[in-house]
Structure 1
Amino acid sequence: MSLAGLKCLVTGAGGFLGQRIVCQLLEEEENLAEVRALDILISSETLQNFGKLKNKTLLTVIQGDIRDRTVLDTAVEGVSFVIHTASIIDVLGHVEQHTLWDVNVRGTQNLLEACILSNVQHFIYTSSIEVTGPNSRGDPICDGDEDTVYQNSTHAPYAATKKEAEKSVLELDGLPLKNGTSLVTCALRSMYIFGEGSPFLLKHLDDSILNNNVFLRTSRKEALVNPAYVGNVAWAHIQLAKAMRDPEKLNRVRGQFYYVADDTPHVSYADLNYELTKELGFGIEPKLAMPLRMLYCYALLLETVSFLLRPFVRYIPVINRSLLTLLNTPFSFSYKKAQRDFGYVPRYKWEEAKQHTSRWIAKMIPLRAAYLNKKPI
């Protein structure tokens, strides 16, 4: 089903995934009437990239906060479908919990309310694999699917906000709208996303440069996950948007969540960094800095120090138990349901995704090295 002639709003359009979705929408062969790109900040470089792709589709950039209802009411007016990627990702605790909830949960609820008032029929929510887990025990999953039963006992704030926001989205599927239609909602739980522009990959790259071009071993080799390339995750959103307009697929996808992966080999998070850079001369430490149990004890010690210092100073540990569990639990999922229900097939093969990402890393190496050399100790 075509998206030609429709108006779309993408939130988080200045982010790693959001800007890739905007680019793919602008590349659509059958032009949309308008793509609205909403974010609190969109860099000049991102705007230039958007400008290179502009065709007959009108691109409207809206600078505003997802928590500002006035901005949202204007942004959704006359829109046919919304792709909601905006959120704060925080696994270390740099962001206060109330801010996480305001943006990730209340911001999503604000957007839903604005869509309902404006009769926006289709709403796609970018969820996260962390909604599923891993749990605090580190129970593994190998090639799970949407029917896999898993007891999630994690209390990580970011995961909790994504879970609550996803629940808010899916619960409203089927809600009658004033124009006689009904709201159609769906959520995509993406695996860890890599690719050009990844802020996490940049952080790991910085650490490796400071470690003589050797990546730190943050996860066991046995902790296999299946990361997904940013271009494929963006493509899944667009394929789902088309399926929502297809009468034959609509009832299959509405109110559902789907895991989004691709054909990237199952590797640990640390070994993914190495796979993307080994041809550039990078190495990786052969094992963890200390046995995993000792790392958990170390993380607990840092968390305790952080708690004790809280009345006096805000100290954020470089590692915590929740992140250690995430990095060291085998946790992978199949995308077969997405393939079956709305025809999702990865747009980029692993070798192509790897090549694109490696080329970007090669360009970033001298820039990051220069930045780190000037950075005060």
Structure 2
Amino acid sequence: MAPSIDSVLIIGGSGFLGLHLIDQFFKLEPRPAIHVLDIRPLPAVSPKFYSFDPDHVHFHKADITNVESIRAVLKIAVPSVVVHSASPVHGLGADIYRAVNVDGTAALLQAVAESTTVKAFVYTSSASVVYDGSDLKNADETFPIPAVAMDAYNDTKVQGERLVLDANKSSPQLLTCALRPSGLFGPGDRQLVPGMLDVLKTNGTVFQLGDNFNLFDFTYIGNVAHAHVLAGLALLDPARQDAVAGEAFFITNDTPVYFFTMPRTIWSHRGYVPKFIIKLPRDIGMGLAYLSEAWSALRGKQALFTRFRVAFTCANRYFNISKAKQFLGYEPLVSLEDGVLKTLQWIDEEEKLKK
């Protein structure tokens, strides 16, 4: 008999990925009770992009660094599956990343380990946990995690993932796994696609870092949410538990493209194609980024143009998702092209609402 989920608690359910997690769990048959733990209330969403009924989602305001508040939510939600998708966006301070990705994850694991109902814990990690600035070509889960992380965000994601996977060994009744998505975009995206559109607005489309022969994995957000549902079901399935529990899985669209293909596709859908391109070699980009970081440090601010971003843009960074296909039954539901169209439609809808 196929496993089912009676109740799910989505940590960070008001966020970018969180709303799509609600959407995917809402589509399950039988439908579980859906609970959200977040410090922000659920935003209003358009039925054009999300199919769930907000009246069927139970919201709980709580701080994930506070064990007592988590315990209180668990008593109300009585979930069999907990999905931890809360994570601050890039560009913030190290203290914020530690508070959420490390301290918050530790508090959650402590609370769920005490619960008598939680059987499965799925953690949203990042494909960047194995990234050290060099090329990742068809990287799979055997690739080692670097001794030194590229930045505070990735360092705390590594620590959070280790806490989750180690908890699988220390908590006999709790099964855990971690998903490592790459390059998220889709409706609700406030960073990747909007950032590429900002380049169009500021006439920066003629500049290219590197030679653009580097392949990169961008991933539609709905596909990532779908993978989390599959992971939760797999952890509850006695026939698949041993292959999934304590494991990490890369999640992508399985369609790597040359890095600048993505922004140029987005720009072309806005009716723009650059007439010429100015290529900046990687070394020059790294030098400019160093100056940007130094200037930002002097002003006590977080640099936006960093050596990490230059390395990220110029490196091959694509992944082998055979493990997720084999053990989670994962296949992308939405193609890159359709994902881009959905994202741009959502952005258009948002802009209309602002007028």
Deviations 1:270-290 (A, max 9, x none): 431222341331335854563
User: Which residue in the other structure is 2:58 paired with?
Assistant: 60
Task: Tell me how far apart the structure 2 counterparts of residues 193 and 51 of structure 1 sit (CA, whole Å).
Answer: 17
User: Which residue in the other structure is 1:107 paired with?
Assistant: 104
Q: How does 1:163-242 map to 2 (within 5 A)?
A: 163-176=158-171, 182-200=173-191, 201-211=193-203, 214=205, 217=208, 220-242=211-233
User: Which residue in the other structure is 1:141 paired with?
Assistant: 136
Task: Tell me how far apart the structure 1 counterparts of residues 53 and 184 of structure 2 sit (CA, whole Å).
Answer: 26
SS of 2:215's partner is coil
Structure 1 regions of 5+ residues with no counterpart?
371-377
> Could you tell me which amino acid in structure 1 is paired with residue 281 of structure 2?
P
User: Which residue in the other structure is 1:375 paired with?
Assistant: none
Q: 1:334 to 1:286 in 2, by over 3 A?
A: farther
User: Which residue in the other structure is 2:8 paired with?
Assistant: 8
User: Which residue in the other structure is 1:79 paired with?
Assistant: 79
Task: Tell me how far apart the structure 2 counterparts of residues 262 and 231 of structure 1 sit (CA, whole Å).
Answer: 10
SS of 2:170's partner is coil
Task: Tell me how far apart the structure 1 counterparts of residues 353 and 94 of structure 2 sit (CA, whole Å).
Answer: 33
Tell me which moved more, 237-246 or 356-365.
356-365
> Could you tell me which amino acid in structure 1 is paired with residue 183 of structure 2?
Y
> Could you tell me which amino acid in structure 2 is paired with residue 117 of structure 1?
E
Q: Contact 1:132–1:152 at 8 Å: present in 2 too?
A: no
How far the C-alpha of 1:124 sits from its partner, in A, is 0.4
Task: Tell me how far apart the structure 2 counterparts of residues 355 and 50 of structure 1 sit (CA, whole Å).
Answer: 12
How far the C-alpha of 1:183 sits from its partner, in A, is 1.2
How far the C-alpha of 1:20 sits from its partner, in A, is 0.2
Q: How does 1:14-53 map to 2 (within 5 A)?
A: 14-32=14-32, 34-46=33-45, 53=52
Q: Contact 1:220–1:288 at 8 Å: present in 2 too?
A: no
Q: Contact 1:104–1:161 at 8 Å: present in 2 too?
A: yes
Q: Contact 2:209–2:282 at 8 Å: present in 1 too?
A: no
How far the C-alpha of 1:352 sits from its partner, in A, is 2.8
Q: 1:113 to 1:288 in 2, by over 3 A?
A: farther
SS of 2:64's partner is coil
Task: Tell me how far apart the structure 1 counterparts of residues 285 and 336 of structure 2 sit (CA, whole Å).
Answer: 32
Q: Contact 1:215–1:273 at 8 Å: present in 2 too?
A: no
Deviations 1:122-177 (A, max 9, x none): 100000011110x1xx3212212112357464341100000000000001103345
User: Which residue in the other structure is 2:126 paired with?
Assistant: 128
Q: Contact 2:216–2:257 at 8 Å: present in 1 too?
A: yes
Q: 1:279 to 1:245 in 2, by over 3 A?
A: same
For residue 253 of structure 1, the aligned residue among 244, 256, 273 is 244
Q: 1:174 to 1:50 in 2, by over 3 A?
A: farther
For residue 286 of structure 2, the aligned residue among 288, 296, 299 is 296
Task: Tell me how far apart the structure 2 counterparts of residues 360 and 215 of structure 1 sit (CA, whole Å).
Answer: 26
Q: 1:203 to 1:230 in 2, by over 3 A?
A: same
How far the C-alpha of 1:333 sits from its partner, in A, is 0.2
Q: Contact 2:220–2:335 at 8 Å: present in 1 too?
A: no
Q: 1:70 to 1:150 in 2, by over 3 A?
A: closer
Q: 1:224 to 1:287 in 2, by over 3 A?
A: farther
Task: Tell me how far apart the structure 2 counterparts of residues 257 and 264 of structure 1 sit (CA, whole Å).
Answer: 20
Q: Contact 2:209–2:281 at 8 Å: present in 1 too?
A: no
Matched-pair identity in %: 26
TM-score, normalised to structure 2's length?
0.89
Task: Tell me how far apart the structure 2 counterparts of residues 294 and 72 of structure 1 sit (CA, whole Å).
Answer: 48
Q: Is 1:283 equivalent to 2:312 in the alignment?
A: no
Task: Tell me how far apart the structure 1 counterparts of residues 121 and 72 of structure 2 sit (CA, whole Å).
Answer: 16
Note the aligned Cα RMSD (angstroms). Answer: 2.7
Q: Contact 1:207–1:216 at 8 Å: present in 2 too?
A: no
Task: Tell me how far apart the structure 1 counterparts of residues 261 and 333 of structure 2 sit (CA, whole Å).
Answer: 23
